[in-house]
Structures are given as structure tokens and as C-alpha cells.
């Protein structure tokens, strides 16, 4: 189904700063594609839990990577699915106001909720894992060995369709109260950037194997956010 925005629901309208909410597909996808780690919240055995997980977006689905032996995957298998809330956040700048109360951050975030289901098809799982590796390090999936059937059986992949989803974005300067505008304290934004070092070879790497071209130029483009 082609669409340009996600529906607004009771569950995805922020209770605070709703003017920062975004529901257009382009914004949601761009944030998910720039993120590295998703924090996945769920309830298991009556207790709230949260896990950091690698993920990849393929079309209108989010795929969560884990192990079939992990508690999260075992609960999903036992219940034939698991209700989750998934959050991805990119912090772009710290916002320094004239008062500590008004300090903030410029950020981009996405929250998605719904029922996640285990991917059982070995072929589909292999496709998703290739997509995950390729998103993180473009060119790597064609270079490294593909997983065996046994390794695929040990790998858990859950699919969450993007239905109840929203983004939230803050940009711009600090918002100080009028009485603080005359303060001698500096105010503004402090950008946050990611710097990548040179690729470091493994201690057991055979001699004569050079750094591949997709790493030699520095940070993979997919990780620049």
C-alpha cells in the first residue's frame, strides 16, 4: 500500500509538544534508516522489559535482530507474537539556554507500536540479514560468508509492520523566558558529530588481506545519519 503519511491515533499523538510530531512517511523512514540501535519495550511474565537491538527497515516493516535462545524471542515464539513499542532516537545538538531549566536537545525520534511476529522462512530471514548488514556497512554482505542453515536457525528475526508510528523532531535555538533574555550567560546550540577512525584489523587476520574499499574511505555512508 502506497501512502505518504501514517494515521494519527490515540496511541501515537504526543501528550506534550504535539506540534513537533511528524507522521509523513519520508520523515519516519529517514530517521529509521539513519538510526543504529532500536530500544524495544515489551512485557514478559508480568514484568516490563527493554532491549537494545539491531534492526533494519525494509519497505513498511521493521525487522528486529536477535537470538532464538533469547528470552524475547522465546516469549514471542510461545505466544505466536509479542506486543512491542520500538524507539529510535538521534540526538543532533545540545541546546544551551540561559537557565538550566530551559536546556534541551535537538533530536529526531520515531516510536512504533504493534505486534511483532517471528520470521519463520529461512529464505526471508537470510534476505533480511543481508539487508541489515548492507544497511550498516554497504558492500559487506557481498564480501563476508553467508550464514549456514544452522546459523539461521540460531538467529531470531521479528517483523513489525509500521502501522501505529510517529516521529518527533526538535530543531532550533533555546527557548528562554523573557526575563532571562538579558542574562550575560551564553546561549546557543552545540552540534554533536560522529567521527570514525581507521579500520583496525583483527589480531588473527591473515597477512596480505587489505582493508576493503568500502571501509578504506572511512565511515560507511549509511552510518552518517
| Strand ranges (E), the chain | 21-22, 37-44, 47-58, 61-67, 82-96, 104-118, 155-161, 164-170, 188-191
Q: What is the largest CA-CA distance in the chain?
A: 67
Cα–Cα dist 151/154, whole Å:
5
Q: Which residues pair with 47 in a beta bridge?
A: 44
pLDDT at 199: 87
Contact 61, 73 (CB under 8 A): no
The overall pTM is greater than 0.85: yes
Q: Give the model confidence (pLDDT) of 120-165 as tens digits.
A: 999 999 999 999 999 988 889 999 999 999 999 999 999 999 999 9
Q: Give the model confidence (pLDDT) of 163-204 as tens digits.
A: 999 999 999 999 999 999 999 999 999 999 887 778 889 999
Contact 103, 96 (CB under 8 A): yes
pLDDT at 217: 65
Whether residue 117 has pLDDT greater than 80: yes
- The C-alpha cell that represents 28 in the structure block: 519516519
* Mean pLDDT, residues 202-212: 92
Name the phi and psi angles at 224, rounded to 5.
-85, -15
Whether residue 215 has pLDDT greater than 70: yes
Cα–Cα dist 104/173, whole Å:
9
Domain boundaries, the chain: 18-92+103-173
Q: Give the model confidence (pLDDT) of 56-110 as tens digits.
A: 999 999 999 999 989 999 999 898 999 999 999 999 999 999 999 999 999 999 9
Fold designation for 18-92+103-173: Pnp Oxidase; Chain A (2.30.110)
Q: DSSP string covering 134-198, please? A: HHHSTTSTTTSPPPPHHHHHHEEEEEEES-EEEEEEE-SS----GGGTT-SS--EEEE-------
CA atoms within 13 A on the CB side of 143: 13
Amino acid at each position: 500500500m502506497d501512502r505518504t503519511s501514517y494515521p494519527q491515533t490515540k496511541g501515537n499523538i504526543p501528550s506534550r509538544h504535539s506540534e513537533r510530531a511528524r507522521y509523513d512517511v519520508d520523515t519516519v523512514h529517514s530517521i529509521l534508516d539513519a538510526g543504529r540501535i532500536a530500544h524495544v519495550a515489551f512485557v514478559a511474565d508480568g514484568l516490563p522489559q527493554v532491549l537494545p537491538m539491531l534492526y533494519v527497515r525494509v519497505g513498511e516493516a521493521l525487522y528486529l535482530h536477535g537470538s532464538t535462545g533469547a528470552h524475547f524471542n522465546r516469549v514471542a515464539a510461545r505466544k505466536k507474537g509479542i506486543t512491542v513499542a520500538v524507539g529510535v532516537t538521534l540526538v543532533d545538538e545540545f541546546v544551551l539556554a540561559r537557565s538550566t531549566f530551559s536546556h534541551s536537545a535537538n533530536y529526531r525520534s520515531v516510536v512504533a507500536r504493534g505486534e511483532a511476529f517471528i520470521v519463520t522462512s529461512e529464505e526471508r530471514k537470510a534476505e533480511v540479514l543481508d539487508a541489515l548488514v548492507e544497511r550498516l556497512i554497504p558492500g559487506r554482505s557481498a564480501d563476508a560468508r553467508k550464514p549456514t542453515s544452522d546459523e539461521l536457525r540460531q538467529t531470531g528475526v521479528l517483523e513489525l509492520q509500521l502501522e501505529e508510528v510517529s516521529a518527533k523532531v526538535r530543531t532550533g535555538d533555546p527557548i528562554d523566558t523573557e526575563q532571562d533574555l538579558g542574562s550575560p550567560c551564553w546561549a546557543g546550540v552545540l552540534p554533536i558529530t560522529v567521527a570514525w577512525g581507521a579500520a583496525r584489523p583483527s589480531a588473527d587476520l591473515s597477512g596480505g588481506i587489505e582493508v576493503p574499499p568500502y571501509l578504506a574511505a572511512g565511515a560507511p555512508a549509511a552510518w552518517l545519519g
